Amino acid sequence: MLLAIHIGNRAISLAVYKTDISSHPAAERLCFCAEISSKPIRSADEYAVLLGQIFALRGYPTENITDVILSSVVPSLTEVIAAAAAQFISARPLIVSSGVRTGLRIQIDNPSQLGADLCALAVGATAHCAGPAVIASFDSATALTVLSAPGVLAGVIIMPGLQSAAQALDRDTALLTDIPLEVPRRVIGKNTADAMKSGLIFGCAAQIDGMVSRIAAELQCDVSALTLYACGRYAGRITPYCSSAFSEMPHLLFEGLLTIYEKNR
């Protein structure tokens, strides 16, 4: 089994794939997904215990783990989690970095600056799209990764995430308080809470639609020619209110990690 781990700013997510049926689609090879909170004060041994408990809870023995692949956007946790995962296998985990084979043509100024998560998303999307594509990832930041063609990463757009925007309103304004990230009943708010909800939810959706239009114009194609994917913690709260037709792909990052692992075996 392959243990694929992604270290995010708010959580560490993982997926386990069967490796003995490599000819099958990724969805058929997926055993389970899980998530734990990312706390820098934990040691590698503590994370190893948590991983072992998750496997026991899902009914999979850790002895079946043969390989580990790891992507991270939190450098301070990368080696800690790698050390934790290394307790289950004899080899060092594969860490997604600039020296790892991905199959991508990365057309940005400094490819080493590309986030490991965005790299994995682009690899995952390449297996599904037949033309230009945009992958919208809604997490701590909202990122749009642009493929001008399958396997060709044209660039990235990064915007504040939904939770970060809400916290900024609460922190930087005297009369606006923290609110739940719920969809309001109407666009035009009739009270402070609904006004903020509208700005956050509908405003983010409109922002995404506007960026998709600008991306299509820069790629010199129609919006209808773009394949649009959405993933991340807040995708389900935003994309239903976009006029652009996004397909939710919750496991896209892990599918990319699975592909990267197979390219580096």
CA dist 208 and 190 (Å) reads 25
Q: How far is CA 261 from CA 169, 200, 258, in A?
A: 41, 37, 5
Catalytic residue among 20, 45, 67, 117: 117
**Helix 116-126 and helix 252-263, axial crossing angle in degrees, nearest 10:** 90
Q: For residue 139, indicate whether it is catalytic.
A: no
Question: CA distances (Å), 56 to each of 30, 61, 64, 129, 239, in order?
Answer: 17, 6, 12, 36, 35
DSSP string, 148-182: EETTEEEEEEEEE-HHHHHHHHHHH-SS-------
Q: What's 94-121 look like in SS3? A: EECCCCCCCCCEECCCCHHHCCHHHHHH
Residue 196 CB neighbour total at 10 angstroms: 23
- Residue owning tokens 């580990």: 68
Evaluate whether 104 touches 81 at the Cβ level (below 8 Å). Answer: no
Residues with a known catalytic role:
117
